[in-house]
A and B are shown apart, each in its own frame.
Chain A
Amino acid sequence: DAGITQSPRHKVTETGTPVTLRCHQTENHRYMYWYRQDPGHGLRLIHYSYGVKDTDKGEVSDGYSVSRSKTEDFLLTLESATSSQTSVYFCATVMTSGRFGSYNEQFFGPGTRLTVL
């Protein structure tokens, strides 16, 4: 499981409050990802990182920001949480992308269930 932990595992918050979710990995993997999962939508990529301080947007990045100041930590921040951001959030890591066309397995964390009231 690549030593991926997510914190908190569960959180209930109110609309308009800031929320930060943390993903921590112990395998020194280069790439890290944040996904959200909602009924009827599968997993959707929010943001990803390809190195320390190197991040980029995924398909559903509006309302989210990320930071990666250390290899092992990737933070997802909801600056002002909304009810539409109620979801289960998964972090994932990959050791390296390898050369084009090759593959490296994505390891997923246990998820964070966020409820915004």
Chain B
Amino acid sequence: DAKTTQPPSMDCAEGRAANLPCNHSTISGNEYVYWYRQIHSQGPQYIIHGLKNNETNEMASLIITEDRKSSTLILPHATLRDTAVYYCIVRDVIQGAQKLVFGQGTRLTINP
């Protein structure tokens, strides 16, 4: 079972910031939060990850609350190519391997 809860869909205007929320109230102290996205029928693509501190890379920013029970992925200037399903994942580690448990994700639509 996925350990995260996300809204099923969101809309955002092109050029605006897209803010995608994720709840992970049962996250444990050593678990990271990861974000992937899946464009149309392609394989998922890594976006960003974080543990406690806010993170930023060339694709997005990740804001994690102080209690770590929720986070927000921010796409600062959304483009039409950012239309995709976005998955928030809390990592489960088994025997050193990474088991990513995907939930339903948020279907983000960027409108012109």
Smallest CB separation, B94 vs chain A (Å): 7
Question: A42-B87, A103-B49, A103-B91 known; A97 and B96 CB under 8 Å?
Answer: yes
**SS class of chain B's interface: helix, strand, loop or mixed?**
loop
B30: chain A residues within 8 A (beta carbon) = 100-101
Contact status B95-A56, CB under 8 Å:
yes
A103 x B32 contact (CB < 8 A): yes
**A56 engages B94 (CB within 8 Å):** yes
Number of interface residues of A (CB under 8 A): 29
The stretch that binds B, out of A11-19, A66-74, A77-85, A86-94, is: A86-94
CB of A48 within 8 Å of the partner chain: yes
Contact of B42 among A45, A59, A110 (CB under 8 A): A110
Which 5 pairs between the two chains have the least Cβ-Cβ distance? A108-B43, A43-B102, A42-B102, A105-B46, A97-B96
Question: Which residues of B are in contact with A by a Cβ distance under 8 Å?
Answer: 2, 30, 32, 34, 36, 41-46, 49, 51, 87, 91, 93-105
Given A90-B44, A97-B98, 18 new contacts (CB under 8 A): A42-B87, A42-B103, A43-B100, A44-B102, A45-B101, A56-B95, A58-B99, A92-B44, A94-B98, A97-B93, A103-B91, A106-B36, A106-B100, A107-B46, A108-B44, A108-B45, A110-B43, A111-B43
Give 28 CB contacts A-B under 8 Å: A4-B43, A31-B97, A35-B102, A42-B2, A42-B87, A42-B104, A43-B102, A44-B102, A45-B100, A45-B101, A48-B97, A48-B99, A50-B95, A50-B96, A56-B94, A58-B99, A59-B101, A88-B41, A90-B44, A94-B97, A97-B96, A100-B30, A101-B30, A103-B32, A105-B46, A106-B36, A106-B100, A108-B44
